[in-house]
Chain A
Amino acid sequence: MRLFAFLYCLVVAVFSTHLKPQKSKAESIAAGEEIYQDFCIQCHLSNGEGVSGVFPPIKASDYLFENINRSIAGIKYGLKGEITVNDEIYDGVMANQGLEEEEIADVMNYILNQWGNQSEEFITPQQVATVPKSILQK
């Protein structure tokens, strides 16, 4: 009986994590917009163009589309040091904003599909969870 109870709990636990409703891409993008307005807009601006030489653009950003996991890592752990975006060098600090994995997935989906940006990718909280800090050193 004890074993049964244990197994029952285990099964419920496993299922409940899997059954947690996953947002659709559209829902994720909408939630991401709120995160963007709160945490990102002051530097990267409402048009996603940033400030040349100071805050890199997200709109039509080659860095973003060629380094999706590194972009996730930048948001998750903070980003420091030199990066090249659309042939311009940026050497600033983007502080870790303390966002949860789901919020990072949402804001990634938003910026990948805003201001004319378009991506087939659908970033999930699970993907954000797997991105290690070490990826930023490469």
Chain B
Amino acid sequence: MLVKILQKKQMYLSMKQISLLIAFTLIIQLGCAQENLPMIETPTETNYSYEVVVDGLEIPWGMAFISTEELLVTEKSGTLYRVKEGQKTIINGLPEIYTRGQGGLLDVALHPNFSENKIIYITLGANMEKDNKGGNTALYCATLNGTELSDVKLLYKATPNSKKGQHFGSRIVFDQEGHVYFGVGDRGNRDENPQDLARDGGKVYRLNLDGSIPEDNPFVNEVGAKKAVFSYGHRNPQGMVVHPKTGQVWENEHGPQGGDEINIIKKGVNYGWPKITYGINYSGTPITDKTSAPNMEQPFYYWVPSIAPSGMAFSTSGVYKEWKDNLFVGSLKFEYLERLVIQNNKVVKREKVLDKIGRVRNVVEGPDGYLYLGVEGKGIVKIVPTS
């Protein structure tokens, strides 16, 4: 009898253990699939609409305003346009472009003193070595006269070339102290590139405006290190903007599935890819079980699920009353513009703007204070308040 009771008791316990196990497994699984807070909201009423101000573009990767009437637009397939009142004119004199996979003509930006020196900066996939080994990201500057480029100068070329189609980066921004920043993705070689300072790729770089290496770059005294590196452990930077108040460089990057990030770029800091990430492989297998580690920076925010962020802008103008100081990021995957409200260094609200508009490749605040989006297959779109 006693034995029977004991057996029963054991049985009871093991059943309880099993059910506990099941419960735990469920919690963990649900936890993984859960959206990282705050949840994205879809407003039921809006007080804005949009107009297409430049049409006939396939992948408008980069955008730079010359004035309220004129802007430069890059088409990833390899065309740079000067646009005036919606009319596109092709700019001649670009260097040769290596177009494969995610590589091609990428970002364009104006020199902080463009109105006087007419200098522009561009990033693109390049193979000037003619080694038939693929390509890698390059930063150029050039002088723009009307629709002609002259004095085309290579400022940086990431090496080695690779036939991988992935992760060229790249955006260009400037700080107030005479530096240019640009990002290069890991070029599909995450095991070698992002954590190795002697290799290009998976980095944010900082140069002086003439392309020389700033003396106070973080790794200038490190033997073997690429001296242009400013921060590392990145996967694929696709958005960059200078915070209008702090002057810091904000960056967003494509993570693996469920690991897209916003980072505030700091000198010499390791952002962890691929040693730490909130994402997993596209096939569903894990990359690492670590989301944090000593001496590796946490993202300011990460997206689960991935939205495939691209482009980044703060709304500073007050043109959109409720959006002042909010951060805007394009979503390639879900085809909307994301509005992020930030309070006390935390994202407290996320909202869809222009849901289903198409793959949003880029967003910038124009000199007139309006937000302009680069939308694939559509063109450049301006958000217009209706009330």
B335 — which chain A residues lie within 8 A by C-beta? 54
Instruction: Give the contact stretch, choosing among A1-9, A57-65, A68-76, A90-98.
Output: A90-98
B376 — which chain A residues lie within 8 A by C-beta? 92-93
* Interface of chain B residues 148 through 191 with chain A (CB within 8 A): 164-166, 188
* Bound CA–CA A113/B100 (angstroms): 25
* Interface of chain A residues 79 through 114 with chain B (CB within 8 A): 80, 91-93, 95-99
A42 — which chain B residues lie within 8 A by C-beta? 282
**B101 lies within 8 A of A93 (CB):** no
Task: Count residues of chain B with CB under 8 A from any CB of chain A.
Answer: 20
With A38-B188, A39-B101, A80-B377 already in contact, the answer to whether A95 and B76 are too (CB < 8 A) is: yes
* Bound CA–CA A93/B57 (angstroms): 11
Mostly, the B contact residues are loop
* Bound CA–CA A41/B103 (angstroms): 16
Q: Answer whether residue A117 sits at the interface, using C-beta atoms and an 8 A cutoff.
A: no
* Bound CA–CA A42/B283 (angstroms): 10
B58 — which chain A residues lie within 8 A by C-beta? 80, 93, 95
With A38-B188, A46-B283 already in contact, the answer to whether A98 and B99 are too (CB < 8 A) is: yes
**B77 lies within 8 A of A96 (CB):** yes
**A95 lies within 8 A of B59 (CB):** yes
**A45 lies within 8 A of B282 (CB):** yes
**A99 lies within 8 A of B100 (CB):** yes
Across the interface, name the chain B residue whose C-beta is closest to A98: B100
Across the interface, name the chain B residue whose C-beta is closest to A93: B377
- Min CB gap A31→B, angstroms: 12
B59, B77, B282: the one contacting A41 at CB < 8 Å is: B282
* Interface of chain B residues 89 through 121 with chain A (CB within 8 A): 98-101, 103
* Bound CA–CA A93/B60 (angstroms): 12
**B165 lies within 8 A of A97 (CB):** yes
**A38 lies within 8 A of B377 (CB):** no
* Interface of chain B residues 22 through 64 with chain A (CB within 8 A): 58-59
Across the interface, name the chain B residue whose C-beta is closest to A39: B165
Across the interface, name the chain B residue whose C-beta is closest to A41: B282
Across the interface, name the chain B residue whose C-beta is closest to A81: B377
* Bound CA–CA A63/B330 (angstroms): 30
B99 — which chain A residues lie within 8 A by C-beta? 96, 98
Across the interface, name the chain A residue whose C-beta is closest to B358: A92
* Interface of chain B residues 340 through 364 with chain A (CB within 8 A): 359
Of the candidates A41, A45, A78, A96, the one having the most CB atoms from chain B within 10 angstroms of its own CB is A96
* Bound CA–CA A97/B284 (angstroms): 25
**A95 lies within 8 A of B77 (CB):** yes
B377 — which chain A residues lie within 8 A by C-beta? 80, 91-93
- Min CB gap B275→A, angstroms: 22
B77, B101, B283, B359: the one contacting A38 at CB < 8 Å is: B101
* Bound CA–CA A91/B284 (angstroms): 28
* Bound CA–CA A42/B164 (angstroms): 14
**A97 lies within 8 A of B282 (CB):** no
A93 — which chain B residues lie within 8 A by C-beta? 58-59, 376-377
* Bound CA–CA A39/B99 (angstroms): 13
- Min CB gap B356→A, angstroms: 10
* Bound CA–CA A101/B55 (angstroms): 32
B101 — which chain A residues lie within 8 A by C-beta? 38-39, 97-98
- Min CB gap A56→B, angstroms: 15
Instruction: For the complex of A and B, list the 8 residue pairs with the smallest distance between their C-beta atoms, beginning with the closest.
Output: A98-B100, A93-B377, A39-B165, A38-B165, A98-B99, A46-B283, A93-B58, A41-B282
Q: List 25 A-B contacts (CB under 8 A).
A: A38-B188, A39-B165, A42-B282, A45-B282, A46-B282, A46-B283, A46-B284, A54-B335, A80-B58, A80-B377, A91-B377, A92-B359, A92-B376, A92-B377, A93-B376, A93-B377, A95-B76, A95-B77, A96-B77, A97-B100, A98-B98, A98-B99, A98-B101, A98-B165, A99-B100
Contacts A38-B165, A42-B282, A97-B100 given; 13 further ones with Cβ under 8 A?
A38-B188, A39-B101, A45-B282, A54-B335, A80-B377, A91-B377, A92-B376, A92-B377, A93-B377, A95-B76, A96-B99, A98-B100, A98-B103
